[in-house]
Every structure is written in structure tokens, then in C-alpha cells.
A and B are shown apart, each in its own frame.
Chain A
Amino acid sequence: MANPALARSGSVTSAASNDAVVQVREICKNYGDVEALRGINLEFERGKLTTLLGPSGCGKTTLLKIIAGLVPATSGEICVNGHAVTGPGPERAFVFQDFALMPWATVLRNVGFGLELKRVPAAERDRTARRYIEQVGLAGFEQKYPHELSGGMRQRVGIARAFAVNADVLLLDEPFSAVDEQNRRKFQEDLLRLVELEKKTFIFVTHSIEEAVYVSDRIVLLSPRPGRVSQVIDPMIDRSASPDDIRRDAGYLDVVEEIWQGLRQYAE
């Protein structure tokens, strides 16, 4: 298993750097008798994209929602920028699997909604919203309503909304799972460009191995029932190559294979 594109660490704590924006300490979550997460310890580094990957039922979305403060943990602690958090906060922004756009509001209002809630003046809010609408490639659609957009375009609105509030941490819950395959690839490339551009910390949930390897700086593999961290992989992909070359790269394919071997025991 001598693979130059694959650096592995047994546990994250050993690989922890001092520049951790989000720290997850001993998080457990029970739903009644069902144990969803057990003793999760993770650190998420500034400016990196970390993916939570695992089969369905491994609690990856639950963990993301606990970090977001939307779901309370049964025990354990989440620290963001060194402060323990108990609920949602302005330093974190969430991108939803089903987009969560307000159907009665235009693209402009949807993107600016986070700022509207922060009572940012209308002129400034619109200016910021327009900038991010343009950045996600939706210029010209400001006055459209969500139902006039395709699935892929709707998620671009969701991403622009998350960027507009200028949070340090972006939490993305399977953002591309409701988007068709062609658009999904384009999306992944755009996401990499935005990670490069915005220098934010991204925590990304997906069940697609290829997607995880393609976009991530670090992949956290979760095992199901109860959800635990089973493996942490740093895919070390050379992102300067063209997207098509990366997808054919031997190192990339080896990491995909490696993860698949780790996960196949959970496939039925």
C-alpha cells in the first residue's frame, strides 16, 4: 500500500494542528434507544475542505447538524474559534440538501436573507447578494423565483446565500445529491474554485466516494451504527491539473479504491 497520493493518520487528534477552527470533542448522540454517534473527536483546519463520508445511517448529517447547532448533542462539546457553541451562530453558514429556498422570494431576496436577518441595510444587502449571485454564475437571474430555476441553479442560490453572510465555516449537507450528474461535476469544479477564492473552512457531507476524493483536503470516514470515526484520509491530489486529468490520475483512482475497500463491508 505504498501510495504517494495517500497519507493516512490513525486518529485526527494526532494530526491536529493549532489552526483548528472547529473542534469536535467526545460528541455522542442518541435518538431514544438508538445510538447515532459515539465518541466523535475531530478537528477541522482553517481554509481546508473536510468531507464526512460514510454509508447512509452513519450519522454524517447528524454530526453536521450538531456542528451547525441545529441538533443538540447528547454529550460532548463543539468549539468554534475556541468558543463552545450551543446553537447556530453567525460564524457558521449551512447549505441544505433540499436547497431550503423560500419559494415566495426572488433569487436576490433569498441570497440576501441571511443579511436581512442580521438587519444589514437593504442597499448593502443587495450589493453583497448581487456579488455572490454573480460569483456562483447566476448573474441575470436576480429577479427570478426558485421554481423558475433548475435544481442545479437552485443550489447555487443556496451556496450564494451561505457565502453572503461571510461566515468562517461553511457546512454543506449533501449539496449536490439532488443535482444531475453533468451539473454535479461542474458544481464540484466550481466548489474547488470557491474554496480557493474564499479561504474559508468547508465541512462537506456526501455519500459519493468520487466526489469526496475529488474535492477534499481531508476525508473522514464514518462507520455506521453507531457512527464512529473509522479512518481519516488526506487525498493529496494535485489540483493544478485539469479536472479531466485529475479524474484519470492514478493517485486519485487509488484513493477512491482504498476508500471503497474500507466501506464495502457496509454495503449490503
Chain B
Amino acid sequence: MTLFGTRVPMMASLLFWLLVWEIVGRLDVMFLIPPFTSIVSAGFELVQTGSWQSASMITLRSFLYGMTLAITVGVPLGVLMGRFKVIDNIFGLWVNMFVSAPLSALVPILMILFGMGETTVVVTVFLFAVWIIVLDARAGVMQVPTSLIEMGRSYGASRWTIFTKIILLSALPEILAGIRIGLIRGVKGVVIGQILVSIIGYGELFELYSRSFDMERFWALTMLLFAAAMLLSAGVEHFEKRIEYYAGAR
């Protein structure tokens, strides 16, 4: 971006708004907005506390379990739906319904089913992430060019070889795109699940800080989460680009 003929560096807008935040914070307009610098120092203190570290471990564990489940269920289900009309007819409606449903509303029901613990959070992560993974894997498998499959057949490939060597590899970019969006949705799932359950992990910390009006720590925790989600997304995107390189000519 250029302004009045001079190049404005990329992070300028972020720095500008942080400056505004700092000024508003110093002016003591609202207790909700403490100065940014004190949030940062609260953040440094926070990451050293045992409560944050154990909360992070719990959060990470729930996230990993939920995501592993979502990927191991979502990718095969999507691939099967893309290959077999019957399976597509059975699950298609449900997947499409759930992918756009406000799943947060289901969490209280999950709490009744799975208790006020980690299981509920794991199931929430799973439910947030799995549908888009299913849909993208299905789309990837369905758009494998017919001629590629005919090519496999004409050179003597068995059905299984065509499936493993052509269909899966051809669908890989879409499958990975689904997993990336699934991971981002999973982060939302873990936070929303923990906040609603509110006695474990970050949910407990958020509850604690907002009740005791500890806004520095509240914001520090929020920003750490934002940064983690962005880093995760960037990491998968980087990996995805390397794969897409091969699929660039489709």
C-alpha cells in the first residue's frame, strides 16, 4: 500500500490500532480496555503460571483428540460419499444440514449426554470440524477427471489401484483444504465448548478472569488464542501450497 507517494509497511494498520488502543487505555475510559502494554506484560506473566500451562495442555489435548476423530471419520466418509451414490444419499442431507447449523446450541445437550468434562469438549471439536472435512473430501473425489480413471483402466489398473493411485491423490488438494478449514473450526469448537462447560481449560480461566474483572489477563488469553489459531492456519496453508503445486494444472 502507498499513501501520499510513500510505501506504508504491511503491519502499519495493526500498529496504528494498537497505538489507538494504548491511548484509549491510558485515558482510563473504560475498565474493559486496559492499556495494551499492560496486556502484553500480563500475557508474559500468564504463560508462566501453572494454571495457564495446565489449561493449555487440557485444551490442546481436547483439540487433538477431537480433530483426530474428525479427520479419521470425515475423510473416509467423504471419500465414500463421493464414490458411492447410496452412501451419498444416506448421509448427504445430514452433512449439509450440520455444516451450516449453529452447533453451539447443541453443546448444552452434549453436556447432558457426555457430562461436564473433557469428553463434551472433544465431541464439540469433532462436531465443529467434521462436516466441512466430509464435504471437501466428497467434492475432491467427485471431481477426479473421468479421463484419468479411464486412463488407469486402459493401462490395466485394478479398481483398488485406481482408487489408491489416482482417485485419492487427485482428491488430495481438496481433502487438505477441508482439513485446514476443519482445524480452524475446531479451534472455535474447543473454545466454545470449554466456555460453555466453563470448569475446564481456557473456559475456566475465561470465567475466572471475567468474573474478577481481570481484563489484562482476559485480553492476554484472548490474544494468545487468536495468535495460535492464525499460526495453525498459516502452517496448514503452507503445507497445502506444496501439495497444490502438483495439482496446479487441473
Residue positions of A touching B, CB distance < 8 A? 65, 68-70, 87-90, 92-94, 96-100, 102-105, 113-114, 117-118, 145-147, 161, 165
Contact = CB atoms under 8 A, between A and B. Distances in A.
B169 interface: yes
Contacts of A92: 154
A97 B147 contact: yes
A161 B151 CA distance: 10
Contacts of B147: 96-100
B145 interface: yes
B249 A145 contact: yes
Given A102-B148, A117-B161, A69 B154 contact: yes
Contact of B154 (A93, A99, A102, A104): A93
Residue of A96, A103, A105, A113 with most chain B CB atoms under a 10 A cut-off: A103
Interface string B156-174: 1100010000100110100
Nearest to A70: B150
A197 to B, nearest CB: 22
A27 to B, nearest CB: 18
A146 B245 CA distance: 11
Nearest to B157: A117
Interface string B127-161: 00000000000000000010110111111110001
Contacts of A94: 150-151, 154-155
Secondary structure type dominating chain A contacts: loop
Nearest to A110: B151
A171 B118 CA distance: 60
Contacts of B153: 70, 87-88
B223 interface: no
Residue of B151, B156, B157, B247 with most chain A CB atoms under a 10 A cut-off: B151
A105 B151 CA distance: 14
19 contacts: A65-B150, A68-B154, A70-B154, A88-B155, A88-B156, A90-B156, A93-B154, A94-B151, A94-B155, A97-B147, A98-B147, A100-B145, A102-B166, A102-B170, A103-B248, A104-B247, A113-B155, A145-B248, A165-B155
- 3 pairs of A and B residues whose beta carbons are closest in the complex: A147-B249, A104-B246, A100-B151
Secondary structure type dominating chain B contacts: helix
Interface string B57-92: 000000000000000000000000000000000000
A92 B157 CA distance: 14
A100 B148 contact: yes
Given A94-B151, A98-B147, A103 B156 contact: no
Contacts of B248: 103, 145, 147
Nearest to A97: B147
Interface in B235-250: 245-250
Interface residues of B, number: 22
Contact of B172 (A87, A89, A104): A104
A87 B246 CA distance: 31
A108 to B, nearest CB: 14
Contact of B169 (A100, A102, A114, A118): A102
B250 to A, nearest CB: 6
A247 B40 CA distance: 79
Contacts of A117: 152, 155-157, 161
A237 B69 CA distance: 67
A144 B172 CA distance: 20
Contacts of A93: 154-155
Nearest to B169: A104
Contacts of B157: 117
A164 to B, nearest CB: 10
Contacts of A89: 156
Interface in B158-201: 161, 166, 169-170, 172
A204 to B, nearest CB: 16
Contacts of A146: 249
A65 B153 CA distance: 11
Contacts of B150: 65, 70, 94, 96, 100
A118 B147 CA distance: 19
Contacts of A97: 147
Nearest to A99: B147
A117 B246 CA distance: 21
Contact of B250 (A103, A105, A161): A103
A103 B249 contact: yes
Nearest to B249: A147
A205 to B, nearest CB: 14
